[in-house]
Amino acid sequence: MDWVINLVLIALLIATAVSAILARDLLAAVIIFSCYSMIMALMWQRLQAPDLAFTEAAVGAGVTTVFFVITIFKTRRKEER
Amino acid sequence: MGAYSHFPIFIIAIPMVMAVLMPAIGYKNEKYCPKAVVVALLSSTTLTGLLFFRVKPEGYLSYHMSSWEPPFGIEIRIDFLSLFILATICAISLLVAIFSQKYILKELEANKIPSFYCLFLLLTASMLGFVATGDIFNMFVFMEILALSSYALVAIAGNREAVRAAFKYLLMGAPSSIMVLLAITLLYSVTGTLNMADLSAKIADSGYREVLFASIVIFLIGFGVKAALFPLHMWLPDAHSIAPSPISAMLSGLVVEVGAYAILRILFSVFTTSSPTLSGTSEVLGIISAAGVLFGGILAITQKDFKMMIAYSTISHIGYILLGISVMNDKALTGSVFHIFDHGMAKACFFLCAGAFIYKKGYRRIEDLKGAARQMPWTSFAFSLAALSVIGIPPTAGFISKWYLIWGCIAGGYYLYAVIFLVGSVLAAVYCLRIIYYIFFLAPDEEKWSRKVDEAPLRILIPVWTLSLSTFVFGVISFLIIPSLQQAATFLIIR
Amino acid sequence: MKKFFSLLFIAALAILLLYVVSNMPGMGEEDVPTRQNVIPRYLENAEEETGTENVITGVILNYRGYDTMGEVTVIFTGLAAVIAIIGRERRGKNYAYTDLSEIASSVIVRIAIIFLAPLILLFSFYTILHGDVSPGGGFQGGAIIGASLIIFTTIFGLWESTSRIPQKLRFPLEGAALLSFFSVGAIGIIGGGNFLTYTLPRLTTSLQPAVRTWLTLLVEIGIGVGGAMVFISILFALLREEGGVVGY
Amino acid sequence: MMARDIIAGILCAVGTFFFILGTTGLLRLPDVFSRLHPSTKCDTLGGCSVLIGLMVHSGFSFDTLKLLLIVAFLLVSSATCGHAIGRSAFVKGIPIWKKGLEREE
């Protein structure tokens, strides 16, 4: 059973990473990236590194997302072609 | 004993403490900042100088962090080569700090000065920590501080070009940091240790040849970006020419060299020369850096911007250093380490001279420097003295290092590399003499340069002259240093 | 052309890494090199040697404390870089700031935040102080403090927060992490050990565990407070804006 | 023992069902407001059911208290988030879907 969950998490991780790169709307990219961090935190938890999972959830999904959103607010939302 | 044994950590910690205190020091009045910086760097320099009495060329000084013995805790390991580079870093950054005291007011607004000095000290402290450490992950940590502070210092002027150049630097630098981390992970996964001395022992009898090979390739790519190895140099010209001149001096004179030093450590301290994994990579490194020597030299000749020219010349000289490392014998290694020292001084002197011209007149293009010697003879003479060292004319320090590099190449049987060194010197002669010709022998535009002597202030001239004189002096007294260096290099290679 | 080369580079790197992964020691097996050298000592002796039940904290703060000092410096450098490039926030009529909260007037949100923020803060303090026993510690707790202050700022606005945590207070607190490391290091040197030694050789044996616990706690609190202040200062600097409010 | 597992299983299944409903609604419904409707409510309900199921499963221990706290936080924060998103969408003047209008993508 374990490997199924791992496989699903890895697939989701790659999917979010790719879609965060491909997203033209930067706000969407940031939100997807925050999802990526959350999945990463889950993976750390599964690898028995709760300290790291904790940090990833707080910093990756929480604080940096806010910083990114503010930066997008102050610049442009759409990527230039 | 007593306090003596704690010197290694003091050298690193003093600039760091001062960096943390910098916003508070500069809160009331920014004028105190440069003085505090000079005090911190002066004490670091003194302590480093005192360490020369303790470290023998065949030995090393080991300081165990938190009192844990090495593979378990972190070790600071200073051998003669790293001590030599530590002293170079301390001395040059001290001189640059003195230089920037007056100069930086010209390029930055007053409210940015505390953060400038804070980042400056962090840059210096991280380089010191990077060179001194004997633990490979600790090296990565200090490299991150180094990288972050140098990105910020390139962008500190805050205008469009500066931010652009810094962003380019960041885009190249961040992946390279990740690569270094990846390589460290690979090494850790097959050895289970992070201490360099322990690593080299474990690598020697490790069965995981493929992983070791991959890790060394990734290390070379990662540190290659930091050292501006030829095909990975794209960030360098912009970043080094657009940053404020003292920072250009630091980046070109020290930061890039520290990247080269990291490659040296990886090749000689972690993977020992006898290691079979190294055989192919050092040849590739040699070819790439030989290409870098020629490429940097040729592009430096074609530049119109003064600082841009110096930046391309840096690429060429990094090629020298890495070529000497890739030859892998004691002569060439001595030449490389000594070249780190004298190129650091000469390049810092170049950028500080460029800074002095900018301080006085604001000219950056080579054409605008026509006849500058009439107005600023002292700066111009300092520049030409340093240029002699960059070209490698005896008896300057540049000659000594090139002599050893070429000797090492011939001793190792790499005759082509020796020819490339000579071609590189010819190229250096062309781009340096062109500037000297412009400065001294062309008639100045009347509205640009006055015929009366009107020099930069003493605080700018003193560091410039100290640097250019020491390239000369250390060339003359090199017989005092070179034997110890060569002993240390032999020790590093044989081990 | 550029695209082609970068793709080529990435493909080469990917092939190299895949090749390496197939040759790497297996994950979680008994006889892998990572389990043979330093790890057994950490797992067996950490609790006794460092006085922390949580081995991770023992490794991070004690065995490899110098690395953590470096990490803390990285965070501090990040703040210094942000301040150097965009500057600190300033109060005054001419300085506007980016207001993230058009919903700020909503009573429901305010009440909810007033209810939640103290609880989040409480949790973060628990995380920091309990770091040597359970997962968590200075970094994590600091990030959570930062997050709660960020929530507060988004709802109540920049000036409300800056009046609670003025610049003068933040100057020393931003460096708190590094300063706590340095002070513990200095205590270690004075106490007869090396830099960052927690078990001071000069003390009598009976006193050592207590002093060690207090020093560990000092570093944890320093990291927590320092990290939180760095986050909040970066937030304030980002929100600051000279001239009008720019929305998208 | 068995009864507890069965109850927990049923609660978890119910919770997952609501999650699926909420996600389907999020994907299928036409505009911001109607999408908020399933996503917040179903997520709250689904999350609470799963957590209560876990509470039943774990029996009476320290973990139960933690789960209870999570339920409380979920109730507060999820509702507030829904309110905040809806309100800001309304303040911004995002158009409300009416019959005959195209679905916004």
Q: Is C207 exposed, middle or buried (0-12, 13-18, 19+ CB in 10 A)?
A: exposed
Touching status, chains D and B (3+ beta-carbon pairs under 8 Å):
no
Q: CA C247 to CA C232: how far, in whole Å?
A: 21
Q: Residue D80 and residue C112: Cβ atoms within 8 Å?
A: yes
pLDDT exceeds 60 at position D104: no
Q: Look at residue D103 and tell me whether its pLDDT is greater than 70.
A: no
Between CA C109 and CA C99 the distance in angstroms is 16
Q: What is the C-alpha separation between C75 and A18, in angstroms, rounded?
A: 28
Q: What is the pLDDT of residue B96?
A: 92
Q: Are C238 and A71 in contact (CB under 8 A)?
A: yes
Distance CA B476, CA B260 (A): 25
What separation, in Å, do the N-terminal and C-terminal C-alpha atoms of chain A show? 44
Q: Do residue D80 and residue C109 have CB atoms under 8 angstroms apart?
A: yes
> pLDDT-based confidence at C245, cuts 50/70/90?
very low
Which of A34-43, B15-24, C91-100 comes out lowest in average pLDDT?
A: C91-100
User: Which parts of chain B have pLDDT scores under 50?
Assistant: 1
B56: number of Cβ within 10 Å: 15
Can you tell me whether residue C40 is helix, strand or coil?
helix
d(CA A38, CA A59): 10
Asked if residue B145 lies in contact with residue C77, where contact means CB atoms within 8 angstroms, the answer is yes
Q: Distance, in angstroms, between B164 CA and closest chain C CA?
A: 12
Nearest to C84 among B73, B152, B192 (CB): B152
Distance from CA of C104 to the nearest CA of D (A): 9
Among C140, C165, C141, which Cα is nearest to C152's?
Answer: C165
| pLDDT-derived band at D43, boundaries 50, 70, 90 | confident
- Span B15-74, pLDDT tens digits: 999 999 888 888 878 888 889 999 999 999 999 999 888 888 888 888 888 888 888 889
**Domain regions of chain A by residue span:** 2-74
Contact at CB, C102 and D92, closer than 8 angstroms? yes
Closest chain A residue to the Cα of C98, Cα to Cα: A74
Per-residue pLDDT tens digits for C98-127: 565 555 567 888 888 888 888 889 999 998
Cβ-proximal residues to A19 (8 Å cutoff; 6+ apart), any chain: A32
From chain B, the residues in CB contact with C178 under 8 A are 16-17, 20
Tell me which residue of B162, B121, B159 sits closest to B36, measured CA to CA. Answer: B121
Inside any domain, residue D105: no
- Residues of chain B with Cβ-Cβ distance to C17 below 8 Å are 214
- Nearest-CB residue to C102 (from D73, D77, D91): D91
Distances (CA, A) of B13 to B49, B113, C73: 16, 22, 11
Residue B302: HSE in the Cβ half-sphere, 13 Å Cα cutoff: 5
Question: Which among C102, C112, C115 has CB closest to D88?
Answer: C102
- C42-74: per-residue pLDDT in tens? 888 888 888 888 888 888 888 888 999 999 999
Asked if B67 lies within 8 A of C194 by C-beta distance, the reply is yes
> Per-residue confidence at C243, pLDDT binned at 50, 70, 90?
very low
Q: Which residues of C are less than 8 Å from A70 in CB distance?
A: 98, 100, 235, 238-239
Chain C nearest-CA distance from D13, in A, is 30
Please indicate whether, in this complex, the C-beta atoms of C246 and A66 are within 8 angstroms of each other. no
Q: Which residue of C has its CA nearest to B182?
A: C17
Helices vs strands, H then E, count in chain A: 4, 0
Q: Nearest CA to B379 among B5, B103, B9, B91?
A: B103
Question: Which pLDDT belongs to residue B203?
Answer: 85
**Per-domain boundaries in chain C:** 54-242
Structure tokens at B53: 């009495």
- D90-105: average pLDDT: 71
Helix H or strand E segment including A45: helix A26-46
From the list D79, D84, D92, the residue facing C106 with the nearest CB is D84
In chain D, the number of structural domains is 1
- With a CB cutoff of 8 Å and minimum separation 6, the contacts of D92 are C102
The answer to which of B284-288, C160-164, D100-104 has the lowest mean pLDDT is: D100-104
Using CB atoms, pick whichever of D73, D77, D84 lies closest to residue C103.
D84
- B448, B363 Cβ separation under 8 angstroms: yes
- Residue C5's contacts (CB-CB under 8 Å, 6 or more residues apart) are none
d(CA C171, CA B307): 36
- Give the pLDDT confidence score for residue C91 in this predicted structure: 64
Interface predicted TM-score (ipTM) over 0.85: yes
Tell me if B57 sits within 8 A of B47, measured CB to CB.
no
CA pseudo-torsion sign C26, C29, C32, C34? positive
The strand pairing partners of B133, in sequence order, are B76
Minimal CA separation from B323 to chain C, in Å: 23
Inter-residue contact B79 to B197 (CB < 8 Å):
no
- Interface contact C230, partner A, CB < 8 A: no
CA angle C60, C66, C67 (to 5 degrees): 65
Which two three-digit tokens encode residue C92?
Answer: 């005054």
Q: How far apart are CA C179 and CA C170, in angstroms?
A: 14
pLDDT at C92: 60
Residue D33 has pLDDT above 90, yes or no: no
Question: Which among B6, B115, B148 has the least Cβ separation from residue C83?
Answer: B115
Average pLDDT of chain C, as a whole number = 83
Gap between the Cα atoms of B308 and B364, Å rounded: 9
List chains touching A (3+ CB pairs under 8 A). C
Question: Taking a contact as any Cβ pair under 8 Å apart, which residues of chain A between 20 and 79 contact chain C?
Answer: 50-51, 54-55, 58-59, 62-63, 66-67, 69-74, 76-77
Q: Is D73 on the interface with C (CB under 8 A)?
A: yes
| List of chain B residues whose C-beta atoms are within 8 Å of the C-beta of residue C188 | 66-67
Query: Looking at beta carbons, which residues of chain D come within 8 Å of C119?
Result: 73
Report residue C242: phi and psi, to 5°. -90, 130
Q: 3-class DSSP state for residue A19? A: helix
pLDDT at C99: 60
**Confidence band, pLDDT 50/70/90 cuts, at residue C181:** very high
Residue tagged 């700031």 (tokens): C97
Residue-number span of the structural domain to which D87 is assigned: 2-92
Q: Can you give the pLDDT at residue D11?
A: 92
SS3 B163: helix
> With an 8 Å Cβ cutoff, are C98 and A63 in contact?
no
Helix (H, G, I), strand (E, B), or coil: what is residue B91?
helix
Instruction: Give dist(CA B233, CA B225) in Å, integer.
Output: 7
Q: Which of B141, B168, B135 is nearest to B62 (CA)?
A: B135
pLDDT grade for D61, boundaries at 50, 70 and 90: confident
